[in-house]
Amino acid sequence: MNEGGISVIGMFNDRAETLGRAFLNFAQSHAPIMMAAVLLLNLALKSWNLGAASLWCDEGLSAQFAQMGVKEIILAHRTDSTPPLYACALSGWNALFGNSEAALRSFSVVFSLLTAVILYVFAARHLNIQSAVFVSLLYAFSDIHAYYAQEMRTYALTGGLCALSVLLFYELLKAPNMARLAALGAVNALVIHSHYMTLFFLAAEFAAALSCYGAFRKGVLYYFLSQALSAALAVPWLLFVASGGYPAAGDISWLSRPGLSDMVDVFADFANGKFLLAVCAALMLASAGCLAGRKAKSDPGARLNRIFLPLLAFLPVVAAFSASFIQPVFNARYVLYASLGFFLLIAYLLSLAPLKAPLKIAVACGIVMVSWFRLDLNKGKGEDWKSAVPYVKALKTDRDLVVASAWYLYPCLSYYYSRAYFSDYTRTLDHLRAEKVYCMNDASGLKEIDFRGSGRIFMLQGHQATADPGNTLFDALSGRFRLEYGTNFSKLKLWVFSRGPGSGAAEGERGSASE
């Protein structure tokens, strides 16, 4: 009976290994079909319900920039916390496809799809075909990448540029020529213009190039020349920004310095949860132990992989975490490009692990299945202006007033109140005031409103902890008018007041306003 059991297991292992080898051979010899499959899988996942979620604060700002010309965008970003590349590109996209939620977000979807294809091509060329298949699955079923593929911000663009830079970096080191030098120099200049935190990405490339100088002497020299070109293209913008003061990060006094648990959370976001992070960490330790005894000196490509992939996965996160002790801004999205190194490292280590094919397939399928079950394609993005504004408009009469806080949320409010007001971005606030819609942070803005003859007051409140930590706006209105009711629209609160005895809100109602 034992012999029969062993025979069945052996037959199963042989069959699994045969099928696995056949699939990898097919993938190796049919690259266009595999890339098309990667593209379609990502398209299905990343474009799901593309226009369903409401614009939120940061997206509203991006959508507003997309209405502007390039010169206005550049001047506006001189003191912004991000460079102007994404906004300029989105402005051109807006001119072609319009400013609906789906149209504007589709720009990020396109770069997410390009990233998926580049990852596959890079892994197939410079790692191995097993890594190419596995990294494609990790990226496709990544919850954080599914989210930011539909985010009207720079993160998908930055990821695509970083992926292209990694591919060109390898190509230049292994087969240096002037065309690749110019291409990498130009792409890395675009990387810098997409997000300031990508300086840590460039540091990882630089460290890897230095470490592999002996193996790729000519390629590294060409790399240094390409970075001189990048600097020449990027320094004018950096000097322009420096002359206007350090890029503003807004009021960050409410943020606290991160702890080690926050850095763990970033990697957990990359891995699709702490359970899979533990699995990936175990895989890294086991594979690293097995590979430690192998000599990679005879294979320069293997040496480059073992140096660069860990640097790309970990150096940007550690560097950003360290920098947050100077300015406490630490978030997974700012170093999202490092997740590409994380995926490549996991895929590469699994492909090299001294495991039989059936066990490798089981581990890979297990990680992918857990990632699939954790994938949420219907996440809300933030304040639900898409529901709140039409609700208020349906109730509002000519005598009623709308008070919205924080004032910087007005692009989202105007987008759903009147697309014409939103598009006329230099006069948006004037149009809203003409409709008795006022935007402010706290109660100090109420002195500009003439309440005589007014009817109800609709108060839309978002970012209260940041814009009005004392909740002065709610207290002032509830002390002067009668609170009829309050309701929530995701991270946006609506309070409806009516004229009458200003008896204030009940204690429970006042408490809920500051939650």
Let me know: does 405 contact 473? Beta carbons within 8 Å.
Answer: yes
Q: How confident is the model at residue 67 (pLDDT cuts 50, 70, 90)?
A: very high
DSSP 156-193: HHHHHHHHHHHHHHHHHHHS--HHHHHHHHHHHHHHHH
Residue 334 gets which letter from DSSP?
Answer: G
The more confidently predicted of residues 288 and 237 is 237
The span from the CA of 416 to the CA of 413, in Å, is 6
Instruction: Give me the mean pLDDT over the 432-440 stretch.
Output: 95
Write down the pTM of the prediction: 0.90
**Could you read off the pLDDT of 472-482 as tens digits, one per residue?**
999 999 999 99
Predicted confidence at residue 5, as pLDDT, reads: 53
Predicted confidence at residue 13, as pLDDT, reads: 63
User: Above 70 in pLDDT, residue 114?
Assistant: yes
So where are the chain's domains? Answer: 30-374, 385-513
Predicted confidence at residue 7, as pLDDT, reads: 62
User: Above 50 in pLDDT, residue 504?
Assistant: no
> Which residue type does 401 have?
L
User: Above 60 in pLDDT, residue 125?
Assistant: yes
Nearest to 104 by CA among 383, 407, 419, 493: 419
Predicted confidence at residue 452, as pLDDT, reads: 85
Q: How confident is the model at residue 316 (pLDDT cuts 50, 70, 90)?
A: very high
The more confidently predicted of residues 257 and 401 is 401
Q: How confident is the model at residue 422 (pLDDT cuts 50, 70, 90)?
A: very high
Predicted confidence at residue 511, as pLDDT, reads: 33
User: Above 60 in pLDDT, residue 254?
Assistant: no
Instruction: Give me the mean pLDDT over the 91-119 stretch.
Output: 96
Pull the structure tokens for residue 216: 């790729």
Instruction: Give me the mean pLDDT over the 175-199 stretch.
Output: 96
| Average pLDDT taken over every residue of the chain | 89
**Could you read off the pLDDT of 445-472 as tens digits, one per residue?**
999 898 888 899 999 999 998 899 999 9
User: Above 70 in pLDDT, residue 199?
Assistant: yes
Nearest to 38 by CA among 108, 135, 111: 135
Predicted confidence at residue 360, as pLDDT, reads: 83
Pull the structure tokens for residue 124: 């197939």
User: Above 70 in pLDDT, residue 515?
Assistant: no
User: Above 80 in pLDDT, residue 45?
Assistant: yes
The span from the CA of 26 to the CA of 395, in Å, is 61
Give 413's contacts (C-beta < 8 A, 6+ positions apart).
385, 389, 404, 432, 437, 439, 460
Predicted confidence at residue 496, as pLDDT, reads: 96
Predicted confidence at residue 4, as pLDDT, reads: 53
Predicted confidence at residue 503, as pLDDT, reads: 40
C-alpha pair distances (Å), 310 with each of 316, 368, 501, 507: 10, 21, 66, 55
Pull the structure tokens for residue 459: 């108060």
Within a 10 A sphere around the Cβ of 188, how many other Cβ atoms?
28
Q: Tokens 């970990």 — which residue?
A: 314
User: Above 70 in pLDDT, residue 294?
Assistant: no
Longest Cα pair distance anywhere in the chain, in angstroms?
93
Pull the structure tokens for residue 257: 């310095």
> Which residue type does 373 have?
F
User: Above 90 in pLDDT, residue 249?
Assistant: no
Instruction: Give me the mean pLDDT over the 436-450 stretch.
Output: 93
Lowest mean pLDDT among 44-53, 325-334, 476-485: 325-334
